[in-house]
Structure 1
Amino acid sequence: MALNMENDPLIYKCFPTSLTGPALNWFRNLARGSVDSFRSLYNKFISQYYRNKRPAKDILSLFTMKQHDSKRLQAFLTRFNLVKSMVIECHSSTAVQAFKLAMNWETPFHTSLVVNTPNTMDELNERADGFVRLEENEAANARKTSIISMEEKSKTKIRQK
């Protein structure tokens, strides 16, 4: 397509292949003859979807984040990475430092980060995977223990009756 930027009919025919969902429906509902050039289509598209654009964030937004005590690592990691993706020109090592400051300090993962700080967010995410699995395993074991405890209480009540 880059070689055919001046070929409006070709671009206009290929453009819908890049759309899905509501954007494709919007395109299909354009009135016949309402678009006379790709520039016109571009302008209509931008005016339709410009309000959906998320504003860029600055690096301060990473340094003001906090992991709440009750939040699991996976949820916080997802939220942190989402905000990081909206920060323009965020160096990976800076993001790692912001993540360390935002973490709940009483967690084993925070201790791991203090003892051996990763150089990049990719390294941090890889290491976090193990701790996420550990949290999930502990939660599953707690659920099993709770179910067994409830069953034992139920059996005790039945015996007492």
Structure 2
Amino acid sequence: MTIHSKDEALMCKVFPSSLGPVAMRWFDSLKADSISSFKELTQAFGSRFITYSRVPQPLSSLLSLSMREGETLKTYSNRYWEMYNEMDDNFKDVAFNTFKSGIPTKHGLRKSLTGKPVTNLCQLMDRIDKYKRVEEDQQMGKGKNKVIP
């Protein structure tokens, strides 16, 4: 970004590429035209995240999450990963099982994760994304696609 430090518009466009999921949700929630310069953007970011003192979430918070009646996979997934990201310790092995156990037993993703378990978080996220796309397509009435695990 140092190379483009004179081009504020470009810097504002490149800025989101450095953000993680929680910060990206914050960035996406900014109102249109609420930031007029890169300096304002970095100040807003700093006031939200650098001075933000959070209490780390315990493992029990993650274990108690489950998909709500009528909740979409996308919404459940967003809640789950936000909670996961707020934990200080690394519980990747627990993430596989708690995410799956929070999904209703008849859900296609749960069946897929049971029949063909994932071995790392990237595989889990890829599988979740496939099922979210199918769910979104079905909600939009585009089709009755099925994911082949």
TM range (shorter): 0.5 to 0.7
Counterparts of residues 102-113 of structure 1 (less than 5 Å): 102-113=102-113
CA distance in 2, matches of 1:23, 1:127: 34
Partner of residue 141, structure 1: 141
Counterparts of residues 72-87 of structure 1 (less than 5 Å): 72-87=72-87
Q: Does 1:21 align with 2:5?
A: no
Alignment: residue pair count: 103
Question: By how many angstroms is 1:17 displaced?
Answer: 9.5
Change (3 A) 1:138 1:20: same
Change (3 A) 1:89 1:140: same
Q: SS in structure 2 opposite 1:141?
A: coil
Partner of residue 59, structure 1: 59
Letter of the aligned partner of 2:62 in structure 1?
L
CA distance in 1, matches of 2:128, 2:137: 14
CA distance in 2, matches of 1:17, 1:134: 38
CA distance in 2, matches of 1:71, 1:133: 15
Partner of residue 68, structure 2: 68
CA distance in 2, matches of 1:73, 1:134: 10
Letter of the aligned partner of 1:119 in structure 2?
T
Letter of the aligned partner of 2:132 in structure 1?
V
CA distance in 2, matches of 1:107, 1:137: 16
Greater fraction of residues in helix: 1
CA RMSD of aligned residues (A): 2.7
CA-to-aligned-CA distance 1:8-34 (integer Å, 9 cap, x gap): xxxxxxxx899422857xxxxxxxxxx
- TM-score in terms of structure 1 length: 0.56
Q: Once the two structures are aligned, what percentage of the paired residues are identical? A: 17
Letter of the aligned partner of 1:83 in structure 2?
M
Change (3 A) 1:63 1:22: closer
Gaps of 5+ in 2: 1-38, 143-149
CA distance in 1, matches of 2:136, 2:41: 38
Partner of residue 92, structure 2: 92
CA distance in 2, matches of 1:22, 1:68: 31
CA distance in 2, matches of 1:116, 1:91: 21
Letter of the aligned partner of 2:131 in structure 1?
F
Q: SS in structure 2 opposite 1:119?
A: coil
Question: Which contiguous aligned blocks of 4+ residues in structure 1 show a shift greater than 3 angstroms?
Answer: 16-19
- TM-score in terms of structure 2 length: 0.60
Paired residues of 1:92 and 1:119 also in contact (CA < 8 A): no
